[in-house]
Amino acid sequence: MDNEFEQLEAELKRLQPMPPSPELSGEVARELGPDALPRRIATWWLWAAALPAAAALAFTITGVVRQKWLISSETPVENLAGDEGLKPVAAENILYAATDEGVTTLSDGTPVRRERLNYVDTFTWKNARTNVSLKWSVPREEIRVVPVSYQ
């Protein structure tokens, strides 16, 4: 078994990498030549100028489209609630994460268990006449401190 590994090792030592082709050597020389750095800097400046201009154009187009949508809307935004207004119809509190952070001690020396609870509160309002509804979801975090009694 050791003899096989020694033969393989001897064969691997005899291997030599092939020299690079003339095309590859020429390409590397052109890329690393004295005029390569200004070309890279020019490309960087092109991107540095084009990206903020593209972002400004996108914001402008978004603003124009949004403004036209608000103006051409059949129901004005102020009148969505109607004369009667929106009335609360539902409220949900969904617990999606609870973490027990272990036992700790308050400043007065009382041992307590600290719990971190994460909720999503969802409130729904509705106008019965226009059938317009509004849902509002808000994340909420509670940290509870529960006294611990060792008996």
Per-residue pLDDT of 109-130, as tens digits, reads: 889 999 999 999 999 999 888 8
Question: What mean pLDDT do residues 25-33 have?
Answer: 78
**pLDDT band, residue 73 (cuts 50/70/90):** very low
User: CA 139, CA 123: separation in Å to the nearest integer?
Assistant: 12
Res. 81: pLDDT tops 70: no
pLDDT: which is higher, 120 or 60: 120
Q: Over the stretch 47-57, which tens digit does the pLDDT of each residue have?
A: 677 777 777 77
Backbone angles phi, psi at 51, to 5 degrees: -65, -50
Look up the pTM and report it.
Answer: 0.41
**pLDDT band, residue 75 (cuts 50/70/90):** very low
Q: Taking CA 112 as the corner, what is the angle to CA 141 and CA 100, rounded to the nearest 5 degrees? A: 45
User: CA 80, CA 133: separation in Å to the nearest integer?
Assistant: 9
Res. 3: pLDDT tops 80: yes
Alpha helices for 1-151 (secondary structure H): 2-14, 22-31, 36-72
Counting DSSP H helices and E strands in the chain, the numbers are: 3, 3
Question: What mean pLDDT do residues 127-150 have?
Answer: 88
